[in-house]
Chain A
Amino acid sequence: MLKKLWQLFLTFAKVGVMTFGGGYAMLPILQREVVENRGWASEEDLTDYFAIGQCTPGIIAVNTATFVGQKQAGVIGGIVATLGIVFPSLVIITALASVIEMIDHLAVVQNAFAGINVCVGILILNSVVKLFKKAVVGKATLVIFLLVTLGALAANTLPNVNVSPVVFVLLAAVAGIVLKNLEGKKA
């Protein structure tokens, strides 16, 4: 049992180290480590876990790790696999953050970050475009998208408006259930 837990921790720590960005970028790495090297899941299982990881709360990478760990060694396995996948982030980011803290007053670092911010903005835009194609499938979903974008933008920008994103998430879930039911009745 201990050996299995150690293997879970190590395997997912390895997946964590090899993942840049997360999401879909991680799938081929999981396939190699979890399916081919360890035989902990079949291709189909992994696709299932991944799909569920996407439509449940939280980070997809973490959700998938919890899933595989749970299947292998129960609740404790789920926890250990999750700790494994976040371990490299903890080490690397805290080390790097300390270094950046020491140099971020330098002009060259500030200029570099100003350039990097342009890139981050475009990377976010690219993700929005990609998600938009899957999420906005008709008028109703377009309205939800626009309302949430404007509402959240107002909440982000205006000092006297402070609405938590939680509110938008909950309202959208309710809207989805109501709208689907209405469409179902019409059909």
Chain B
Amino acid sequence: MIYIQLFYEFFKTGLFAIGGGLATLPFLYNLSDKTGWFTHTDLTNMIAVSESTPGPLGVNTATYVGFTVGGLPGAIVATLGLVAPSIIVILIIASFLKAFRDSRIVDSAFYGLRPASTGLIAAAGIPVIVTSILSVDSLYTLLTGGMTVSMIKWPAIVLAVVIFVLTNFVKPTKKLHPILFIAFAAVVGVVFRLGGV
């Protein structure tokens, strides 16, 4: 039965995630809260692996979550669930391509959808950043328990700033593949024992 639920959840993700791979994240965090199949930290690790392996990010993450929940059949079911809405929607649109492109209602819906999709991704990203630079397991613990200076992981903050600068402002490194920054971050994580173990 878990397979039916997996298919349904990923079908929903494929249908409502607009704007590519990262847009699936809010749905996956929501799925984690709802089912407890995996933790937020598990998910962040899965995103990291998905970013570093071939294949579209959204597909990789769906496959990974599916595999975690239900082994190989789970991986297949989740991936098929994710792409099923694309197949249906695109096959419909392909038959009246021009009408869709010129439609005013589609255009105005996207006027609202674009900032919303951006906001959803931002809301998924904020806890990832906070839990990676502070020793807390969730944003909720931070809100209820308060923050102390001892929670701050200084090497992680330096790493975050360095990656932010290298990926945005330094010309020769801006265009480098994300996998290189992920590898660099892994090395820093090991050297400074960022996991605390």
Contacts and interface: CB of A to CB of B under 8 A. Distances in A.
B15 to A, nearest CB: 5
A66 B82 CA distance: 13
Given A52-B101, A89-B55, A116-B48, A62 B86 contact: yes
Interface in A82-97: 82, 85-86, 88-90, 92-94, 96-97
Q: Which of A78, A118, A125 has the most CB of B within 10 A?
A: A118
A104 B76 CA distance: 23
21 contacts: A19-B54, A20-B52, A20-B179, A56-B86, A58-B89, A59-B58, A61-B58, A79-B87, A85-B59, A89-B55, A97-B68, A111-B194, A115-B185, A115-B189, A117-B44, A131-B121, A148-B115, A148-B119, A153-B127, A157-B143, A164-B30
Interface of A: 16-23, 26, 48, 52-63, 66-67, 70-71, 75, 78-79, 82, 85-86, 88-90, 92-94, 96-97, 100, 104, 107-108, 110-129, 131-132, 134-136, 141-142, 144-153, 155-159, 162, 164-166, 168-169, 171-177, 179-181
Interface of B: 12, 14-22, 24-27, 29-30, 33-34, 41, 44-45, 47-60, 63-64, 67-68, 72, 75-76, 79, 82-83, 85-87, 89-91, 93-94, 97, 100-101, 104-129, 131-133, 138-140, 143, 156, 159-160, 163-164, 167-168, 177-179, 181-182, 184-190, 192-197
